[in-house]
Chain A
């Protein structure tokens, strides 16, 4: 875009004058300044708000992370990096990271695969496609506070899921899904996938709409089957969406709070504890705001690092594409 602007400037149709023309076809500097909109004052209010609210809060959070403080008392004790040392030696903290990685990988892969498959299917000639789109998207608009009690009932020891398994002869699979560490996280992941697959579906549906129909026709004429077309043409075409979804999913998982808090409260035995719920647990019930702030700073660093890595990967792929096109 910058290149286009530069070229547009170089090719400006503004007639040059003898006195002001320092380069081919460009208006004099004074006229260029008067032609530019004074944009800075317009963004100043937003800049002040964002600086005051966002970056100041981050800085203040960083300061609090160096304290032993309950968030209310006038007594604040400076402890330096003790809270960070505590975090790195806290098995529950490492457990939250482990849960985050597992949660991200499983839910992202599932949503991506489901999103692409559903988008491809609904790009075919399907009856009542509009109805299916609505059904797929409805879970997205449901608030976790509504879904949580439903899933708690469904996956209760005497809930409908176990009843269904028993009814179809799979009674040996019935178990207290939310009451044991080995399955509680899985239930949360199911809930997440159900809740957000609609978003990935919508994004992939729109991305697939951009795929050249002629390319697909040509592939069919060459004898490519549907699966081959999806794998070799559709998926590469929506790679940008895949990367974008990865970034959104990663950051969303890092700051996950509502689903584990409402469904399992981080239990049983911290088996579904995430950084978000652990920060809350430390800050509010336990009143260790200093430690909670340190965890928040670590979360921020992880989120920035993840965004950076994914952004680098995306840039590398764009560079590779440009190289291939030249």
Chain B
């Protein structure tokens, strides 16, 4: 093809370049991270993204919020753990992201190090609502969600602890099985369940969501208390003998039938979770967030989601991880997650109202506490035990109270010191041993090499 003239050719080339350059600039433009409040504090429509809580729990929060702020519409969107980071990354860098979002201290779901800069500074709003000493109002330190310059990227929703087991007490009673406190007792208990056609410990090692690592950590905590946390702090190395012993015991759990043969082909969510909730498995290792399924309403909803039609809720209880290594392993935990307000939101004022109502008011704190999804984050607030609608209050209330009391004595954090890289390396080590392609010794060697 020929241009009509060289002059017109040059002009057209310039037009193309300008258009392409404009398009390029539009593509690469980073949005501003303005810190001022936008929109009305009492009305508007906002979205909240999170990997937790479950949608049904979030809706109870929102319903309670709307009793005081009926003109602020809140839409919650729940993501699977593995999908949240990808969605949040794209959302926060666009103009269609959430107004409020969950943010964690560490780990590989939505860590503060990656997403903290997107949070609107909530310090002024916190000081206005709770005073200069606002930090004293919270059970868990907010330091992990505070930037170096003192600005606050997120506010604590509540705490979490892991390292315990959840059992189907109804199934244990049905088959006459006692809660195991040692490895041998555990194997014996599992033999009974397997003979009845049930799985023992529901576990999924696929996808690297960290739960298999937490089982490994509990084993090591039983073998040599405090070693795992020392390694996280950098005071111990991952080639200490107890780590390899822990992997050997993890492998033995598969060989002895405590976990299924195809554990590396299953994911903790949804497979292990569904197996427990559908009463296919007698036990599962989950954290304090699992207490929410002690409520009859939540139990029914979750069992239905697991594929059970017309479910009859069972009694679930938290029990200590068996002392497989000779010591009763301690649980570990920290601030689970906070709520952050997207600084690019067009409704930061309404979003701040919602976030601070939920986290910083007695009414919001009570709603969170009553969901028993989180260890209450606000000082002086505890679940209204008699109003929770538990499946069997006489048994479950003391158990959850004891669990929360243990959580108050926690000395080891869960994910604060865990980078995404370390989390993957630990998951790979555990999964490769369970799969059988790597010996515990080789897995440890690979882990040590990966961490330099």
Contacts and interface: CB of A to CB of B under 8 A. Distances in A.
A269 B424 contact: no
B261 interface: yes
A265 B23 contact: no
B111 to A, nearest CB: 9
B20 interface: yes
Contacts of A287: 114, 420
B208 A265 contact: yes
Interface residues of A, number: 43
A76 interface: no
A47 to B, nearest CB: 7
A314 interface: no
Given A44-B16, A269-B431, A180 B208 contact: no
Interface in A58-73: 60, 70-73
Among B12, B89, B118, B262, max chain A CB count under 10 A is at B262
Contacts of B435: 179-181, 267-269
A49 B23 contact: yes
Interface stretch (B263-271, B296-304, B394-402): B263-271
Nearest to A70: B114
Contact of B24 (A39, A52, A285): A52
Interface string A34-70: 0010111100100111011100110010000000001
Given A52-B23, A52-B27, A269-B437, A284 B89 contact: yes
Most buried by A among B2, B15, B108, B435: B435
Pick the 9 closest A-B CB pairs, nearest first.
Answer: A52-B23, A179-B265, A176-B262, A178-B265, A157-B262, A179-B262, A268-B264, A265-B207, A179-B264
Given A73-B114, A184-B265, A268-B431, 4 more contacts: A38-B4, A52-B24, A72-B92, A155-B265
A325 interface: no
Contact of B260 (A70, A152, A157, A180): A157
Most-contacted residue by chain A among B4, B19, B206 (CB, 10 A): B206
A286 interface: yes
Interface of A: 33, 36, 38-41, 44, 47-49, 51-53, 56-57, 60, 70-74, 152, 155-157, 176-181, 184, 264-265, 267-270, 280, 284-287
B27 A48 contact: no
Contact of B89 (A41, A71, A177, A269): A71
A268 B205 contact: yes
B438 interface: yes
Interface of B: 1-4, 12, 15-16, 19-20, 23-24, 27-28, 82, 85-86, 89, 92-93, 108, 114-115, 117-118, 205-208, 260-267, 420-421, 424, 428, 431-432, 435-438
Given A53-B23, A157-B262, A180-B436, A72 B117 contact: yes
B24 A180 contact: no
Contact of A181 (B2, B27, B437): B437
A181 B206 CA distance: 12
Contacts of B207: 265, 267
A56 B20 contact: yes
Contacts of A284: 85-86, 89
Contacts of B117: 72-74
Contacts of B206: 178, 264-265, 267-268
The prevalent SS among residues of B at the interface is: helix
A38 B1 CA distance: 8
Given A70-B114, A180-B436, A286 B420 contact: yes
A176 B436 CA distance: 12
A51 B424 CA distance: 37
B20 A52 contact: yes
A176 B265 contact: yes
Contacts of A41: 12
A13 B24 CA distance: 48
A71 B118 CA distance: 13
A98 to B, nearest CB: 15
A40 B1 contact: yes
Contacts of A265: 82, 206-208, 267
Nearest to A162: B262
Query: Which of B1, B118, B438 has the most A CB atoms < 10 Å from its CB?
Result: B1
B16 A269 contact: no
A135 B265 CA distance: 30
Nearest to B15: A44
Contacts of B264: 176, 179-180, 267-269
Given A72-B114, A269-B437, A287-B114, A48 B2 contact: no
Nearest to B19: A48
A117 B23 CA distance: 49
B7 to A, nearest CB: 15
Contacts of B424: 285-286
A33 B2 contact: yes
26 contacts: A36-B1, A44-B12, A48-B20, A48-B23, A52-B20, A52-B24, A56-B23, A56-B24, A57-B27, A72-B89, A72-B115, A156-B266, A176-B265, A178-B206, A178-B262, A179-B262, A265-B82, A265-B207, A265-B267, A269-B432, A269-B435, A284-B85, A284-B86, A284-B89, A286-B420, A286-B421
B265 to A, nearest CB: 3
Contacts of A73: 114, 117
A163 to B, nearest CB: 14
Contacts of B89: 71-72, 284
Contacts of A267: 206-208, 264, 431, 435
A74 B28 CA distance: 13
B146 to A, nearest CB: 18
Contacts of A53: 23, 27
Nearest to A74: B117
A72 B263 CA distance: 35
Contacts of A47: 16
Contacts of A71: 89
A71 B108 CA distance: 15
Contacts of A70: 114
A56 B27 contact: yes
A280 B85 CA distance: 11
Contacts of B432: 268-269
B366 to A, nearest CB: 35
